[in-house]
Amino acid sequence: MIPLERYIASLMPLQKSIHPFKAPPSPLPFNPDSFFATLEAAGPQLTLNNTGIRGDWVGLYKKFFRSPNFTAWFNTRYTELTMKLQALQTEALSNADLKLWAQERPEVEIVDMVLRIQNKIQKCDQRDIPVDSAIKEKLSLRLNEITSGLPDDLKNILHVS
């Protein structure tokens, strides 16, 4: 499983592709042929070298890929990657200078951002986005920063103080 875990980790987009003002990127798609290409350089024979175990690793993995166990395992790993990307994007948003960002934006974009942040805070509360409480608190502070300049009637509609 180690070669497969390594390959799955390589599907994670680079940190620099995570932007606070854009949707989080998706993990790269799983490609069995691409995985098989990595087996020669990082396959199980490297970890089992001292044992003398030899085998048809490509055939073994092909059988595993067709099994229901692979589907369940892959769906779990893909969900974990997606949640990690959500958490990283949420952290980037909590560290962004939204006050400066809001100065250059029309009201409709600010309202859209307020709704996105409220949604993210709600997902953090429900544990759909795995972040610690400090990031959630910073996100709430950013929300207060950008709503402070909105008219009172709009604040009432958005349910912010």
AA identity, residue 41: A
Instruction: For the full predicted model, state whether its pTM sits above 0.95.
Output: no
Q: What is the pLDDT of residues 97-134, one digit of tens each?
A: 999 999 989 999 999 999 999 999 999 989 888 999 99
Supply the pLDDT for residue 30: 94
Supply the pLDDT for residue 43: 60
Question: What crossing angle do the helices spanning 133-147 and 107-125 adopt, rounded to 10°?
Answer: 160
